[in-house]
Every structure is written in structure tokens, then in C-alpha cells.
Structure 1
Amino acid sequence: MQASATIPRTRLSGFYLFYFAFLGALVPYWSLYLQSFGFGPELIGVLMGMLHATRIIAPSLWGWLADRSGRRMRIVRLGSLAAWLVFALIFWADRALYIALVTLAFSFFWNAILPQFEVVTLRYLGEDKHDYSRIRVWGSIGFIASVSATGYLMELVHIRMLPWVLLALLVLIWLNTLVVHQRQERVAESEVQAGQAFLPLLRRPQVLAFFAVCFLIQFGHGPYYSFFSPMLEQLDYTRGVIGMLWSLGVLAEVVLFIYMRRVLQRWSLRHIMLVSLWLSVLRWVVTALLPAYILPLVLAQLLHAASFGSLHIAGIALVQHYFPTYAQGRGQALFSSLGFGAGGLLGSVVAGLIWQQGGGLPAFLVSALACLVAIVLTSVWIYPEKVQQNSA
């Protein structure tokens, strides 16, 4: 096991802090920003989906380059620099087409950096993968601080000021990448030749089922990421309360990450996934049926620890299990592409179409249905050994 003194925990944690602080300012409030232009639910769903669209291609492309070159941090730095430079064009975008183009362009770079930074972090941790949650928890802390502060700030200033907050956070992400260095990766010829065997790894039924489950999980989050805030505003919740509800969900995630090491030592990944998926079904059903009542909504938000937190940790562990070292960059990229990318894009677009016709009730019930399908796939195909115990 690698000595903990050689792991730059503060610098690694700083990246997650700023990266997810950006998400905390973007995801809950970007739909409100788009709404300020007079766009309807269908168009907002498509524009929110643009944030996910480039995740289908960008992580896999950059993951392939990183696996071939081994220069992951150079790719991360380039991507984070290009992301804030391109995003600055949003100040001149006041039509749907221009907003869509800027969103696609900046997210092509922004969506490429996290999967490769995840690999850098895991390489530093070596065999002690349990410590991942202790570093990743700073992302949740950043999200909470950002979503709360941005919510109250948007009550004091016009929502059109939101891009300034986002631009500042993108610059902080880039600055943090400048002080993180990766462990030396030697790309041996044998690994390059072995890399040609990536498709056989991908075609295994359990791997295909795993990525299908990742897709369905993020598809189910589509209505939440795109329309949860507008729904609450229509129900007369203030933006400060909306921010508090978003923060509450991620606070539950923080608590989970603190104790995740014990959870991983006690339970199998299969068990964690099945329990989390059933709790996800409960979350979306409660959100669909009782959004006007604060106590059930608080309960639903606390279940974010399951619907995102534990499922994300289990997904990271399964990528490490299913893909050998030479293919982990591409495996991690596919985890992002098929889940957050394809799943998030289709989830947002479908949510917009359903919301236009029937509102939040049918949209969130479709989310619950997606999780039920994921439960079936997990029950049939996801049978890993307790890999988190094997790597302890």
C-alpha cells in the first residue's frame, strides 16, 4: 500500500471542492436562468440536456488519449482552461441557439476532465481505494456551500448574474489543476497491445448490464436536474429554501461518504446497489406525489445519499473491477459517457416532453420506473465478489 504521506490529499480534494461547487451553482439554477429568457419546458429540457450531450463523446475521446499517452493531468489542465475560456462567450448568448452552442462547446471540455482526474486520484490511492470517499466528500461540501450561497445570492440579484458565479468557479477549477501532479505512468508496449482487447472487455454481459444500470440511474435524475427548482418555485418555495433543499440532499451524501468505508467493508457492491435503487424508487415516488409538503420533500432529498452517493461509489468500484489498469481511463470515461452523458441527456429531454404535457407527477414516476428496470438488471447480472473487501 502506498504511504499516505505521498498522497496530495488537500490538492486532490480541492479539485473536487471547486468542480462540484460549479455543479452546485449550475444544476439547481441554470433552468431558472433559461426560464428568464421566456423559454418553455420542452426547450429548457433540450438546453439542459446539452450539458449532458457532450458527455457521450468527450470522456471516451479524452480517455482514449489519456490511456495512450499517460498524460492525464495535461489533459485535465487543457480541458479546464478551454472550459472557462469558451464559457465566457455565454455573456453574448441571448437566444436559444447561441446558448445551446456555447453549452455544447464549453461542456465538451468540462465533461472530459472529471473522469481522468478520478483515475489520477485512484492511482494515488493505490490499493487503499476506501479512502476515495474521504477525498470525494469535499466535492459534496463544495456543492452544499455553493448551492446555498448561490440560492440566497439569486434572491438579492437578478438571475442573469448567474454566469458570473459560474465563470469564477470554472477559473478556480483550472487554477487548482495547476498544482496537482500525477504519479508517473509508464505506457508499456504490452499494455498498448493489450489495449486493443478493450472491446472484448466491454462485450461481457455483466459489463453491458452495468452500463445499462448506470444509464437508467442518470435517466431517472433527468426531471430532478432540469425541473426540480422550477417546480418548487411554482409551489411558492423561495430560492433560499430551494437552495436549502438541494443542500440537504448533498449533506446526506456527505454523511454517507464519511461512513462509506465501513459500509464497503460490511456489504457487497451488489447489496449496496440493490438497496440504493429501491430507495431511489421511494425518492422519486415521494417527489412525484407530495412536492407541496415540506416534510416528505425533506425525506426525499435525504435519499439523495442513496440515489446518487452510494450508487456513484459502487459504480467507481465496479469500473475498477471490470477493467484492468490499461483500460481504466476508457472504462471510467464510459461510466461517465453512458450514465451522466447519454442517460442525463435523454432523461432531460424526455422530462421536458412529459412536463409539457402532464407536469411533475408523470415525469418523476417515469424516474421511478427507470430505477425499477435497473433493479431487474442488477438482480440478474450484477454479481461481483466483494471486490471492496478484496482490495482492502
Structure 2
Amino acid sequence: MSSDTPSADGSIRPSVLSGAGKPRFFETRMALLYMAVMLPNGIMTPFLPYWLKESGFLPAEIGVLLALPLLARVVAGPTISAFADRAPDRVPILIGLAVLSTVAAAGFLPKPTYVFILFISIAYALFWGPLTPLADSLALSGVRRYRSDYARMRIWGSV
């Protein structure tokens, strides 16, 4: 029996297990994706409350500015992820969300007003929130298809 035909018991062909057909630099590209997704939030999260305070927002306003985006992520994450699961290819959705979250993050640059920062914070959360689950989905597909090491890809989002 050749390696290109399934065995009688339906087990996976050796050519699939050996990583045949793996996209070039799959693990490296996934590691860079995790870093690109996690780095901005890792930089912003510890400093955002202080920046808001220094920008003149009241403690109650800061609380709302930090809480509402989390609520938006709770709603958007599963909704967008369910949509992406039905799509023939998740990559264009991930790229679109990454571009939109970058545009939303640029909204933090001008002089902040409460309503504008509230809008920008929610928009950023809506677009950025589903990026990690989508990246996980792509990485786990690589684990199944190409026997990639998930931990070696994912760790770069935590560095």
C-alpha cells in the first residue's frame, strides 16, 4: 500500500502525519501572528487607566471606559467567531479584523474626549477581541494537519 492511500482501517496516511503540504514557515508565521495580536494589548493594558487619569477623566468615567469594551468583547467574540467558523477561509476575516483594530487604536492618538474615547475603546474591543480565538483556530488546524507544536507558536504571544 502506498503512502498516498488510506489504510483499510481508515487511519491517517503517513504523508499527512509527516507534514506533507505544510505552508512554508507555518510555525514562524503563527508565532509572529500571536506576537502581533498580543503585543499591543500587553503594552496598552497596564498604562491605559493611568493615561485616562492623566487625560483628565474622572474615576467613574475611567471605570466605564474600561468596563464597556470588555462587555463588547463578550458579545463580539462568540458572534464573530461563529461567523468565521462558517466561512470557507478564516484568514481574510482575521486580516480584516486586524486592520480595523489598528485603525481603531489610532483613534487614541488625538486629544481625547470622553464620548470619542468610549467609541474608540468599544470599536477596538469589537475588532481586537476575536483575533486571539481566530489565531488559536488557525494554529490548532496546523497542529492537526501538520503536527505543529502549539506551545512553540503560542508562547510568542506571551513574551
Taking structure 1 as the reference length, the TM-score comes to 0.33
Q: Give, in whole Å, the separation in 2 of the partners of 1:2 and 1:32.
A: 50
- Indicate yes or no: 2:120 matched with 1:102: yes
Q: Which residue of 2 aligns with 1:136?
A: 154
Deviations 1:259-316 (A, max 9, x none): xxxxxxxxxxxxxxxxxxxxxxxxxxxxxxxxxxxxxxxxxxxxxxxxxxxxxxxxxx
Q: Give, in whole Å, the separation in 1 of the partners of 2:153 and 2:123.
A: 29
Q: Which residue of 1 aligns with 2:81?
A: 63
Q: Which of 116, 125, 128 is the aligned partner of 2:134?
A: 116
Residue segments in structure 2 that go unaligned for 5+ positions in a row: 1-15
Q: Which residue of 2 aligns with 1:285?
A: none
1:86 Cα deviation after fit: 2.6
Q: Is the 8 A contact 2:27 2:148 kept in 1?
A: no
SS at match of 1:57: helix
Q: Is the 8 A contact 2:105 2:120 kept in 1?
A: yes
Q: Give, in whole Å, the separation in 2 of the partners of 1:129 and 1:44.
A: 45
Q: Is the 8 A contact 1:54 1:104 kept in 2?
A: yes
Map 1:355-366 → 2, pairs under 5 A: none
Q: Which residue of 1 aligns with 2:55?
A: 37
Q: Give, in whole Å, the separation in 2 of the partners of 1:65 and 1:71.
A: 11
The one-letter code matched in structure 2 to 1:3 is S
Q: Which residue of 2 aligns with 1:322?
A: none
Q: Is the 8 A contact 2:19 2:147 kept in 1?
A: no
Map 1:63-102 → 2, pairs under 5 A: 63-102=81-120
Q: Which residue of 1 aligns with 2:12?
A: none
Deviations 1:76-125 (A, max 9, x none): 01111111123222233522221011111122111122211211110111
Q: Which runs of 4+ in 1 moved over 3 A?
A: 1-5, 127-130
Q: Which residue of 1 aligns with 2:10?
A: none
Map 1:149-164 → 2, pairs under 5 A: none
Q: Which residue of 2 aligns with 1:48?
A: 66
Map 1:191-230 → 2, pairs under 5 A: none
Indicate the structure whose relative CO is greater, using CA pairs within 8 Å and at least 6 residues apart. Answer: 2
1:39 Cα deviation after fit: 2.4
- Number of matched pairs: 141
Cα distance change, pair 136–38 in 1 and its aligned pair in 2 (3 A):
same
Indicate the percent of aligned positions where both proteins have the same amino acid. 25
- Indicate yes or no: 2:42 matched with 1:24: yes
Q: Which residue of 2 aligns with 1:333?
A: none
SS at match of 2:95: helix
Q: Which of 8, 12, 18 is the aligned partner of 1:3?
A: 18
